[in-house]
Amino acid sequence: MGIFSRRKGRDDQGGQGSRESVTAFWDWWVAEGRALADASIAGRPNDDLVAAMSRRVSAVHPGLAWELSPGREAEHCLVVSPEGDAALRGAARRWVRGAPAADATWEFADSRQANREPESMTLEVGGQTISFADLVVGARREGSRIDVTVHHPAFEALDERARVTITFLGLDTALGETGVELWVGEVTPSVVPPLDGFGLAGLRAVVRDLEAESTDEDGQPHWAILNGTGDGGPILAMAQIPLHPATAPDLDTHAAVAVPYSDQTDSGLPGQDALTELRALEDSINGALGDSGRVVAHQSHAGVRLLHVYLDSTADDAVPSLAAVCDPWAQDVRIRVTPDPGWANVAHLRT
């Protein structure tokens, strides 16, 4: 739970984490903000912190929330969170990328971090003290995610809103905000304890195993093969796991790159020569874009491979770089670019 915090308002709207607003925030943090936060955490009266911090976080984007919480490596952590709003993930990621180096006292994060000992946490709700040690979780694997049922003995006496609040705070505490987004599917608070349930530490172990299965040693996502049928024959697709914007919050723009290939099988899928050329094109795209974009999925059908490329909307050279790589292709390549912070254009490829 945050020591001090500010939640976003329902009507918050605004900018997208511009370089100027991010730079202004960190200039203020170095000059004044850190001293205000140090004083507040030390217990010295300081009414200026919440107002000053809220004002400067709002300048990055009015929809962002912030909090000061215990750190994982440092003593304290300043968190600026999109609170699950896909449209704000990029602004939060640009904010944290502008941060100074962490030290023994302060570290910085763009999502709420998992607590080292989630079952030690307590929460006051409806006049009751809710111990997270009493949360019981049931888990069921569904594709690349885990559906969970969460029970607490106090749920029977609490309304639905309180149950949901406790459930999601418990999950965030165990897995971190990003961990919940990436690996948890359907969430069901329950007044009945699940069969074969376990505590938050057990859930963390289950998710850790799933993450290890889905990523390589460097933390990069594995890819899954998918098959389907369309109006011109079979569809062959591949997509990264997990296929979720939280894996790259600053890549908020979708580029659909339609690449025709003449070397094809009788069913319209790429032949061996086409596969070699298409793989080389993907490698060239990823190399040219660097941190400003990457291919996250593709689908082949009826002589055309559709590459799903996500780009950083603040990188002025991203679209020109993509076009330059595709220009030498022997056949005309079509590129369609649209804003898509929630990665809705690849939702059909999620497993």
Predicted confidence (pLDDT) per residue in 93-115, tens digit: 999 999 999 999 999 999 999 99
Checking if the pLDDT of 276 tops 80, the result is yes
* Greater pLDDT, 12 or 137: 137
pLDDT at 13 over 60: no
Tokens 């220009």 label which residue?
A: 327
Q: What pLDDT is recorded for position 351? A: 84
Distance between terminal CA atoms of the chain?
Answer: 32
Mean pLDDT for the chain overall: 91
* pLDDT confidence bin for 180, thresholds 50/70/90: very high
- pLDDT exceeding 70 applies to what percent of the chain? 94
The stretch 260-276 carries a mean pLDDT of 96
Q: What is the mean pLDDT of residues 157-176?
A: 94
Q: pLDDT value at position 47? A: 72
- Quick check: 10 pLDDT over 50? no
Task: Count other C-beta atoms under 10 Å from residue 66's C-beta.
Answer: 23
pTM exceeds 0.75, yes or no: yes
Q: Average pLDDT of 83-87? A: 86
pLDDT greater than 70 at residue 1 = no
Contact yes or no for 78/68 (Cβ under 8 A): yes
Say what the pLDDT of residue 127 is.
82
Q: Categorize the per-residue pLDDT at 12 as very low, low, confident or very high, splitting at 50, 70 and 90.
A: very low
- What pLDDT was estimated at residue 48? 83
State pLDDT tens for residues 213-255: 988 888 788 999 999 998 878 999 999 999 999 999 999 999 9
Q: Say what the pLDDT of residue 6 is.
A: 47
The pLDDT value recorded for residue 3 is 43
Q: What is the predicted pLDDT for the residue at 91?
A: 92
Domains along the sequence of the chain with CATH: 4-109 (no CATH), 118-214 (no CATH), 222-349 (3.30.70)
Give residue 268's region: left, alpha or beta (phi > 0; psi -120 to 50). left
